[in-house]
Amino acid sequence: MKKILLSGYMASGKSTIAQLLSKASGIPYRDLDDIIAENAQKSVSDIFSEDGEIKFRKLEHEALKAVLSDDKGLILALGGGTPCYANNHEFLKRDDVMSIYLKTSIPELLKRLRADGSGRPLFDKQPPEEQEEFVAKHLFDRSYFYHQSKHVILTDGKTTENIVNEIMSLF
């Protein structure tokens, strides 16, 4: 059975949609950040602050490779940076993978990131007056990798139910 990989920027709704899609489809789901944290026995924020981003990207790549190494069906919410490092974007193109980019506008992402509070080390370290420019540039840099996904779903103005139904219509 295929793995369903959800990609997209921080706060694009990957984890929420993975959970709801799992409920609707009966396919189990996991969050790659949770797997990395479980493996490392510490939070993603602690990995960033204690071990650095490069170590996090290595753990992320290893965890992704391990998850994709069997043929069990799974919905996997990737981290916002997952497709952009260590050639992970190649995984999005595999035959046994259905990859979906949840594409959200900059204003919507900013609204959600600000409302979510802390827990995202890359966003948390931005001073408020630089957040908008940071997200705009970061998304621009990452866009190429997100677009290696096989499907793109625009999320602005849609309910989570709309998005889940849209994904299920691709099955």
- Which parts are annotated binding residues for substrate? 33, 57, 80, 142
Mask: binding to ligand S3P, 6-45, rule CB under 6 A, as x and -?
A: ----x---x------------------x----------x-
Instruction: Locate 50 and state its tokens.
Output: 């204690």
- Which parts are annotated binding residues? 11-16, 33, 57, 80, 120, 142
Q: Between residue 81 and residue 110, which ones bind ligand S3P under the rule CB under 6 A? A: 81
Query: Does 121 contact ligand S3P by CB under 6 A?
Result: yes
Nearer to ligand S3P, 118 or 169 (CB): 118
- Cβ(88)–Cβ(61) under 8 Å? yes
Nearer to ligand S3P, 3 or 145 (CB): 145
Q: How many CB atoms lie within 10 A of CB 70?
A: 9
The backbone torsions φ and ψ at residue 78, rounded to the nearest 5 degrees and listed phi first, read -80, 165
Nearer to ligand S3P, 1 or 154 (CB): 154
Tell me how far, at minimum, the Cβ of 15 lies from ligand S3P, in Å: 6
Nearer to ligand S3P, 87 or 96 (CB): 87
Nearest partner of 63 among 30, 93, 102, 96, judged by Cα: 30
- Helix 32-40 to helix 53-67 angle, to the nearest 10 degrees? 110
How far apart (Å, rounded) are the C-alpha atoms in residues 141 and 144? 7
How far apart (Å, rounded) are the C-alpha atoms in residues 144 and 101? 11
Applying CB under 6 A, the residues found at the interface with ligand S3P are 10, 14, 33, 44, 79-81, 120-122
